[in-house]
Structure 1
Amino acid sequence: MSVHRPGVNIVPIHGHTPQIHETAFIAPGCTIIGNVTIGAGSSVWYNCVLRADVSRIVIGERSNIQDGTVVHCDPERPGDPDGSPCIIGDDVLVGHMAMIHGCRIEDRGFVGLGAIAMNKAVIGSDAMLAAGAMLTEGKVMGPRELWGGRPARLMRELNDAAIMGMRMGVAHYAENAKHHAAAVDEALKS
């Protein structure tokens, strides 16, 4: 499942080596550490860090983690035997420079530019955390909800046009990742 990725730092730790589907695009400059699983057709863009040294990070299929994003998790603690793994579903959009920490993003969820999602927070399916928002620990966003602010709170329900826009974004990133993978391969040949 894992293959060599030129320009990508793949770091095994504590007996865990990142598992990256052969169809996933991992851009040069990324660092992927430990117990990370990345599904088919997903993309991790330039200069992201995914560090699963104390728990696990799972990214589903066709999801994208955009440039400069940091994804981490938290270990088990007294009274919290499960810890805070970071679980990202299928067809998820994570905007540039986001901080995703020990939370769950359900299928088709969206995290805006520079947003923060903290331990045990949940971004529901077809829900959007607005750019710059901070979803604090344990907060749960329902399906199709838009949350914004610091701390984030419910602003409104997303309409069908907004949902369609997010789905178009997923399709765009899946296609664009193929072009970037080819461009990276070509650059390495020269």
Structure 2
Amino acid sequence: MPLIIPVRGFTPEIGPDTFLAENCTIVGDVKMGSECSVWFNTVLRGDVNSIRIGNRVNIQDGSVLHTLYQKSTIEIGDDVSIGHNVTIHGAKIHNFALIGMGAVVMDDAEVGEGALVAAGSVVLSRTKIGPNELWGGAPAKFIKMVDPTTSRELNTKIARNYLMYSRWYTHPEETE
């Protein structure tokens, strides 16, 4: 059973048809859209400020989302993939973005629509990644532009795949 903890008068709000792995933790001021998935050992800590998550967002195993008290919030758009073991601390992630495995995205950073953050990258505070840009490294730097159509198709496919994977747990009768 997922651990869902109200804090400071805020109870997490989970959208319809959302998969929560049995050992994920969701705390406080978290609002999540529909058809999302929060995977094993993931923590969404909305105890000190708000976390807002759109539709069809997958937050993969071991990721941690947190904020700064009275300073930063997390906003994640639709069809976003957050890879395994990602740390997002008070950042804004736009629609169709992908944050690669093991990446760190710090306070007040912004990842544009369709952008890609390479695995293991460290996006420093206040960094602005534009739409359809690929960034990587530690600290993360601009690498190249990615084709908007290709980026959107790739990121939509990954988001849909995670929706399919989540249904293996929630609707096993529908699986192949």
Flag whether TM exceeds 0.5 (same fold): yes
Distance in 1 (CA, whole Å) between partners of 2:49 and 2:72 is 7
Distance in 2 (CA, whole Å) between partners of 1:55 and 1:119 is 12
Distance in 2 (CA, whole Å) between partners of 1:180 and 1:127 is 29
How far has the Cα of 1:176 moved from its partner? 1.5
Residue in 1 that maps onto 2:19: 25
How far has the Cα of 1:182 moved from its partner? 3.1
Distance in 1 (CA, whole Å) between partners of 2:143 and 2:100 is 14
| Cα distance per residue 1:81-118 (max 9 Å; x no partner) | xx100111110000000001100000111100000000
Gaps of 5+ in 1: 1-6, 77-82, 184-190
Q: Which moved more, 1:144-153 or 1:166-175?
A: 166-175
Residue in 1 that maps onto 2:141: 153
> Aligned to 1:125, what secondary structure does the other structure show?
coil
**Aligned residue pairs: how many?**
171
| Cα distance per residue 1:30-73 (max 9 Å; x no partner) | 01000001110111111100001110001100011001100001
Residue in 1 that maps onto 2:130: 142
Amino acid across the alignment from 1:72: H
Alignment TM-score, normalising by the size of structure 2: 0.94
* 8 Å contact from structure 2 (residues 115, 151) kept in 1: no
Instruction: Work out which of the two has the higher radius of gyration on C-alpha atoms and give 1 or 2.
Output: 1
* 8 Å contact from structure 2 (residues 114, 151) kept in 1: no
Among candidates 160, 163, 171, match of residue 171 of structure 1: 160
Alignment TM-score, normalising by the size of structure 1: 0.87
Q: How does 1:1-190 map to 2 (within 5 A)?
A: 7-76=1-70, 83-159=71-147, 160-183=149-172
How far has the Cα of 1:162 moved from its partner? 4.0
How far has the Cα of 1:171 moved from its partner? 1.2
Distance in 2 (CA, whole Å) between partners of 1:115 and 1:61 is 22
How far has the Cα of 1:122 moved from its partner? 0.3
Gaps of 5+ in 2: none
> Aligned to 2:75, what secondary structure does the other structure show?
strand
Q: Which moved more, 1:120-129 or 1:171-180?
A: 171-180
How far has the Cα of 1:75 moved from its partner? 1.6
Compute the RMSD of aligned alpha carbons: 1.0
Distance in 1 (CA, whole Å) between partners of 2:16 and 2:155 is 25
Q: Percent identical across equivalent pairs?
A: 39
Residue in 2 that maps onto 1:187: none
What stretches of structure 1 move > 6 A for 4+ residues in a row? none
Distance in 1 (CA, whole Å) between partners of 2:152 and 2:132 is 8
Distance in 1 (CA, whole Å) between partners of 2:113 and 2:41 is 27
> Aligned to 2:171, what secondary structure does the other structure show?
helix
| Cα distance per residue 1:115-166 (max 9 Å; x no partner) | 0000000000000010000000000000000000000010000124344222
Distance in 1 (CA, whole Å) between partners of 2:65 and 2:111 is 15
